[in-house]
Amino acid sequence: MTSLADLPLRADLVGRTAYGAPQLHVPVTLNVNENTHPVPEDVRADILQRIAVALDEVNRYPDREFTALREALAGYLGHGLVPDQLWAANGSNEVLQHVFQAFGGPGRTLLTFPPTYSMYPNYATTSGTAVVDGRRDDDFRLSPETLVAEITRVGPDIVIVAAPNNPTGTPVGLDTIRAAYDATDGVLIVDEAYAEFMPKDAPSALTLLPGRPRLAVSRTMSKAFAFAGARLGYLAADPAFVDALRLVRLPYHLSAITQAAALGALAHAPLMLRTVDEIRVQRDRMAEGLEALGYRVAPSWTNFLLFDGVDDPKALWQSLVDRGVLIRDLAIPGSLRVSAGTASETDAFLAAMAALTPVGAR
Ligand code: PMP
C-alpha cells in the first residue's frame, strides 16, 4: 500500500498529522463547542424553502459576491457596518485561511498566544508563514502591556487573538486590542467565534473597526447559532481589507445552498440564538459541579470550560468515553475541556465525573 512517505509531499508538510478532534458516536458529545440544541422547526422549514428556491438555479454558479448574505450579516452585526465590510466563507476556518493567504506567506510571521485555538499555527504552516508563540499573563489573561511587549519583541505580520479565548474561555479587554493595534504594523485579527456567549453588556472588538484598517473581527455561525454543519463563518473589516481577501478566494467558494441556508438562519437570528442564555446557565452549573468535586475551573465567557486538577487527562478522557461522554483532551497538562450543552447533558457529564473522581482524593 502507498504511504505518505512514498509521495513527493511538500517538505514542510512531512511528518505533520491532520488536525481533527475524534468524531466518536456516543450519547453525550461535548468536545467541539457546538450548540447541542437542534435548529427550531420553524426555521428549518424556512431554510428548506430557501434551499428549494436555490435549487431552481443550481445549474448556474452562485452569486460570487454573496451580496444578499453580506447585507444580512452586516444587519445582524449592527455597529453601522455596511456590506462592503463583510466577508464570509465555509466556516471561520476558511475565512482565517484567506487572511493568511493574503497577509502571511514565506518571510512573514504570525504571533499567537497559546493555549489558544490550535488551527492558528496550522493556517500559518500551510501558507508558509512562520509562527512565534507569545506569552500570556497569569490565569491565561492578556494585558495590554504583555501584548505590546510581545509584539515589540516579535515584529509580526499577523497577530491573532481569540476573544474570548479557546480553550480557556478567557475574555480579552478592548484596551488590550487597542494597544495591540497601535503596537503592530501588521494585521490584527480578533477571533470572536464565541462572542454571543459573552455577558450582554460586554463590548465587541467590532466597535473598534472605524479608523483601524488593519483590524479584522471574525465570527462564526458554528457556535451560538447552532449551525456548525452548514459551514458559515464571516469577518468584518475595512472594505480594503475585504478586497485583499478577494485576491485569494477560489471562484464561487460559497455555494448557493450554503448562501440560502445562512440567509434563512439569519432571518430568524433571535430564534436561532434563543438557547444561548440556557447554555450559559448549564456552563455555570458545570463549573459549580466541577468545583464541588475539587477541580479548578477557568472563568469562561464562552460555551465551554477548561478545568484543571486532573491527575491523568488521557485516562479520565477515556473513562468518560467509556461512559458515553465525549469531551476534549488538548494535551494541556492536568486539564480537559468540556462544552456546555443541554441540562441532561450537564447531568450526564457531572454524574460521570462524580463516579470517576475518587472521594477524598482532592
Ligand atoms: N475560531 C475559534 C476560536 C474556534 O474555536 C473555532 C472552532 N472550534 C473556529 C474559529 C472555527 O470554527 P468554524 O470554522 O466552524 O467557523
- Pick the atom of ligand 1 nearest to 116's CA: 3
Q: How far apart are CA 257 and CA 52, in angstroms?
A: 9
**Do 4-30+274-361 and 41-271 have matching folds?**
no
Q: How confident is the model at residue 360 (pLDDT cuts 50, 70, 90)?
A: low
Helix (H, G, I), strand (E, B) or coil at 296: strand
pLDDT of residue 21: 82
Task: Give the count of alpha carbons within 13 A of 288, CB side only.
Answer: 8
| pLDDT, tens only, 107-119 | 999 999 999 999 9
What is the number of other CB atoms lying within 10 angstroms of the CB of residue 21?
A: 14
Distance 208 CA to ligand 1 centre (A): 22
Which CA distances in Å does 323 have to 283, 328, 354?
Answer: 20, 15, 12
Mean pLDDT of the region 253-275: 97
Q: How far apart are CA 181 and CA 176, in angstroms?
A: 9
Given 3-state DSSP classes, what are the helix, strand and coil percentages for the chain, each rounded to the nearest 5? 45, 15, 45
Instruction: Answer whether 104 contacts ligand 1 (Cβ < 6 A).
Output: no
- Mutating to test ligand 1, I would choose from 222, 225, 235 the residue with most ligand atoms within 8 A of its C-beta, which is 222
Q: How far apart are CA 217 and CA 205, in angstroms?
A: 7
- Pick the atom of ligand 1 nearest to 117's CA: 3
41-271 belongs to CATH 3.40.640.10: yes
Q: How confident is the model at residue 358 (pLDDT cuts 50, 70, 90)?
A: confident
Mean pLDDT of the region 181-193: 98
- Mutating to test ligand 1, I would choose from 35, 90, 112, 117 the residue with most ligand atoms within 8 A of its C-beta, which is 117
Atom 1 in ligand 1: residue holding the nearest Cα:
193
Q: Which of residues 14 and 212 earns the better pLDDT score? A: 212
Specify the residue for cell string 457529564.
Answer: 349
- The sign of the CA dihedral 194, 343, 336, 139 is positive
CA 26 to chain centre: 23
Written as nine digits, the cell of 249 is: 478566494
pLDDT of residue 361: 53
Find the length of the chain. 362
Mean pLDDT of the region 289-298: 96
pLDDT of residue 18: 86
- Per-domain boundaries in the chain: 4-30+274-361, 41-271
Mean pLDDT of the region 137-159: 98
The DSSP H or E segment spanning 279 is helix 276-292
Q: pTM of the predicted model, to two decimals? A: 0.97
CB 129 within 8 A of CB 152: no
CATH of domain 4-30+274-361: 3.90.1150.10
Q: How confident is the model at residue 30 (pLDDT cuts 50, 70, 90)?
A: very high
First CA to last CA distance, the chain: 50
